[in-house]
Copies of this chain bind each other. A is one copy, B any other.
Amino acid sequence: MYLSNYFLPILKNNPSEAQIKSHQLMLRVGMIKQSSSGIYSWLPMGFKIMKKIENIVREEQNKIGAQELLMPTIQSAEIWKESGRYNDYGDEMLRIKDRQGREMLYGPTNEELITEIFRSAIKSYKLLPQLLYHIQWKFRDELRPRFGIMRCREFLMKDAYSFDLNDDDAVLSYNKMFLAYLKTFQRLELSAIPMAADTGPIGGNLSHEFVILAESGESKIFADKRIFDIKTEKYSLTNVSLKNMRNEFEKYYAVTDDKFNNKDFESKVLKNNRLITKGIEVGHIFYFGDKYSKALKASVDLQDGKKTDVKMGSYGIGVSRLVGAIIEAKFNNNIMKWPYSISPFDVAVIPMINKNDDTNLIKAENIYNKLKKNNIDVLLDDTDENISSKLKKFDLIGVPYQIILGKNSEQDLLEFKEIDKEAKQLSINEIIKILTTKKK
């Protein structure tokens, strides 16, 4: 992509309406545009990053055997009356009347609808377990939307739901998802820690919030800091391994403020290990047994002819919110560096272009074509801005690798720089090798 063609409306200054750095950066580099209060359009660069995150989330769901489907955004109120949540939900639910006067709503979550899909399709214990998910826009009519896409009204989530025969099987599903979440956040280069959490209006008694540390976080967390050192690579999808993983995490106190108890904290955590800080919730998993299956009559036939209500869990990841969370974690000292796995481009080519001298631009175009031929996604800054403005701009765009064609690039040795690190002089073939290896 040539920058002059790219729909990337960069602002000269930080927008005054934004209080936290993710909101500032996203408006500043034209990743999003507010369309109305708490509702945003995703412009090409923001959209591309979000899609890459979505895809990592999807791949990790597929790896544990979850099957993707898609529920609609607009739901009938009927099924929410069956579960009893239609009145409970309050003003955050966007309630709608259609032209026939029927009560509808924009789904704030999907336990009811997925239970209805399950109950109409699965009648026998033989077809359990089932693990279904979708990635869909939701709407919550926040009283005070703020912080850009971090606390907005229309947002993209991955929601998964598990259906099992009994508690043991259900906990196995829960643990698989627990591991999938750890792997998902690792691929996003985030250290997201599972914290014991309250289940709130979803119900049930087993729940974890996955939280990344950030000053701007809205969740207060209390943890034994050794929980951050757990290595998860050794765990696999077997029942035994997953139990060991859960046990290792349970060893360390780590809770959100709903669950906080000071006596527990002080007795279980040595002073030196105590961490009290703020975090951003990026995922939340719940096990709530038969809460919805009972209300909605989602039962299966057993071998002995009896019926039993299935045991359910639900598992959310805030896909659009992760874009902001990653910025909160990675944007420091006015320099953004996207994790390579979700970077909008693999590399930026930044030529110093002098008036009446297109030598560097031609050289840049040759490099661009060579990179393209090697399947490297490249952004070429072909504008006539001066080089120091360009470099400042690319600090915000956050492409993690740069090829700078200025006074430090000579003939076949190019100035190659990982953002926030020292520059090197490398040949184009060496650069291609580095970028290709990173991609794997």
Residue A94 interfacial (CB < 8 Å):
yes
Please encode chain A, from 37 to 57, with 1 for each CB lying within 8 Å of some chain B CB and 0 for all others.
101111110011010000000
In the complex, chain A residues 56-88 whose Cβ is within 8 Å of any chain B Cβ: 65, 67-76, 78
- In the bound complex, CA of A78 to CA of B35 (Å): 10
- In the bound complex, CA of A363 to CA of B106 (Å): 48
- Which of A5-13, A261-269, A296-304 forms contacts with chain B? A5-13
Residue A230 interfacial (CB < 8 Å):
no
Residue A411 interfacial (CB < 8 Å):
no
Residue A413 interfacial (CB < 8 Å):
no
Residue A323 interfacial (CB < 8 Å):
no
Interface of A is mostly: mixed
A4 to chain B: closest residue by CB: B127
- In the bound complex, CA of A323 to CA of B316 (Å): 29
Contacts A43-B117, A91-B99 known; A74 to B154 CB distance under 8 Å?
yes
- Which of A135-143, A173-181, A401-409 forms contacts with chain B? A135-143
**Which residues of chain B are within 8 angstroms of A92 by Cβ–Cβ distance?**
99
Decide: B69 and A44 in contact? CB cutoff 8 A: yes
Decide: A74 and B153 in contact? CB cutoff 8 A: yes
Decide: A6 and B67 in contact? CB cutoff 8 A: yes
Residue among A43, A78, A153 with the most chain B CB within 10 A?
A43
Decide: A72 and B120 in contact? CB cutoff 8 A: no
Decide: A7 and B132 in contact? CB cutoff 8 A: yes
Decide: A72 and B113 in contact? CB cutoff 8 A: no
- In the bound complex, CA of A75 to CA of B412 (Å): 52
Residue A33 interfacial (CB < 8 Å):
yes
Decide: A99 and B143 in contact? CB cutoff 8 A: yes
Residue A98 interfacial (CB < 8 Å):
yes
Decide: B99 and A35 in contact? CB cutoff 8 A: no
One of B33, B65, B132, B139 near A74 (C-beta < 8 A): B139
Decide: B99 and A70 in contact? CB cutoff 8 A: no
Decide: A113 and B78 in contact? CB cutoff 8 A: no
- In the bound complex, CA of A35 to CA of B77 (Å): 11
- In the bound complex, CA of A70 to CA of B35 (Å): 11
- In the bound complex, CA of A9 to CA of B130 (Å): 13
Decide: B35 and A116 in contact? CB cutoff 8 A: yes
**Which residues of chain B are within 8 angstroms of A33 by Cβ–Cβ distance?**
117, 120-121
A44 to chain B: closest residue by CB: B67
Residue A96 interfacial (CB < 8 Å):
yes
- In the bound complex, CA of A99 to CA of B105 (Å): 13
Contacts A30-B121, A33-B117, A113-B35 known; A70 to B41 CB distance under 8 Å?
yes
Can you list 16 A-B pairs with a CB-CB distance of less than 8 A? Answer: A5-B65, A7-B69, A33-B117, A33-B121, A36-B104, A39-B74, A39-B75, A40-B72, A41-B72, A42-B69, A43-B117, A44-B67, A47-B68, A74-B139, A96-B96, A99-B141
A35-B75, A44-B67 known; 12 other A-B pairs, CB under 8 Å? A30-B121, A35-B113, A39-B74, A41-B72, A41-B113, A47-B69, A47-B70, A50-B70, A74-B94, A74-B106, A74-B139, A99-B141
**Chain A interface (Cβ < 8 Å from any Cβ of B):** 5-7, 9, 30, 33, 35-37, 39-44, 47-48, 50, 65, 67-76, 78, 91-92, 94, 96, 98-99, 102, 104, 106, 113, 116-117, 120-122, 130, 132, 137, 139, 141, 143, 153-154
